[in-house]
């Protein structure tokens, strides 16, 4: 086992019920996530799938939607489920990472500013080296108090709060080059 693992967070069909298919950024996200996964696997970096579960609705196991998005065909060395926003506290993933002596997490998946960012923050606090690959994450606009933050706004905000504090921020190309 390597000291580095790629986490693919919440890239699951449940998001079809939250506008995934209608987001103009979806094709670029799919391409970049596919490139990141393929590049990691070519470098023998294990991939771990993380799925969000809830008791009811499209994120419930009963919905049949808690499974990979159809474009993803990779081999995951582990699959975990979480019921909170980060992938580490209630999924068993933290124990798995310790058992496999993982020191570096590469973060990708859905949603940029929620589960991906929260996982990066918690991982950093737990002592992991974290690489956040923003272009291999996807989110949706958020409106609060009459102000809408676009996907670009949310990505910029996430990168701004993570960089030099909680994570290195990298493109797919930069991430894979650093792993070579």
- 163: exposed, middle or buried (C-beta count within 10 Å: 0-12, 13-18, 19+)? middle
Q: Give the global pTM.
A: 0.96
What tens digit of pLDDT does each residue of 25-80 get?
999 999 999 999 999 999 999 999 999 999 999 999 999 999 999 999 999 999 99
What tens digit of pLDDT does each residue of 99-139 get?
999 999 999 999 999 999 999 999 999 999 999 999 999 99
pLDDT at residue 18, rounded to an integer: 78
What is d(CA 89, CA 12) in angstroms, rounded to the nearest whole number? Answer: 20
- The mean pLDDT value of the chain amounts to 95
pLDDT at residue 109, rounded to an integer: 98
Neighbours of 177 (CB within 10 A): 11
Please give the share of the chain, as a percent, with pLDDT higher than 70: 99
Tokens 């079809």 sit on residue: 16
Work out the pLDDT band at 20, boundaries 50, 70, 90: confident
What is the torsion angle, in degrees rounded to the nearest 10, for the CA atoms of residue 179, residue 98, residue 158 and residue 107?
A: 40
pLDDT at residue 2, rounded to an integer: 63
What is d(CA 150, CA 142) in angstroms, rounded to the nearest whole number? Answer: 7
């Amino acid at each position: 086992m390597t000291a580095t693992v790629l986490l693919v967070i919440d890239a699951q069909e449940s998001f079809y019920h939250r506008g995934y298919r209608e987001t103009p950024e979806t094709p670029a996200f799919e391409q970049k996530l596919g490139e990141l996964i393929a590049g990691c696997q070519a470098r023998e970096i294990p991939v771990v799938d993380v799925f969000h579960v809830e008791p009811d609705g499209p994120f419930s196991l009963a919905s049949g939607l808690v499974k990979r998005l159809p474009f993803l065909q990779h081999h995951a060395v582990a699959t975990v489920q979480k019921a909170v926003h980060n992938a580490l506290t209630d999924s068993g993933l933290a124990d798995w990472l310790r058992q496999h002596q993982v020191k570096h997490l590469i973060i990708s998946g859905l949603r940029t500013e929620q589960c991906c960012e929260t996982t990066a923050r918690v991982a950093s606090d737990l002592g992991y080296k974290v690489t956040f690959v923003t272009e291999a994450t996807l989110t949706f606009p958020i409106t609060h108090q009459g102000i809408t933050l676009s996907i670009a706004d949310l990505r910029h905000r996430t990168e701004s709060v993570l960089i030099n504090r909680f994570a290195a921020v990298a493109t797919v190309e930069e991430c894979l080059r650093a792993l070579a």
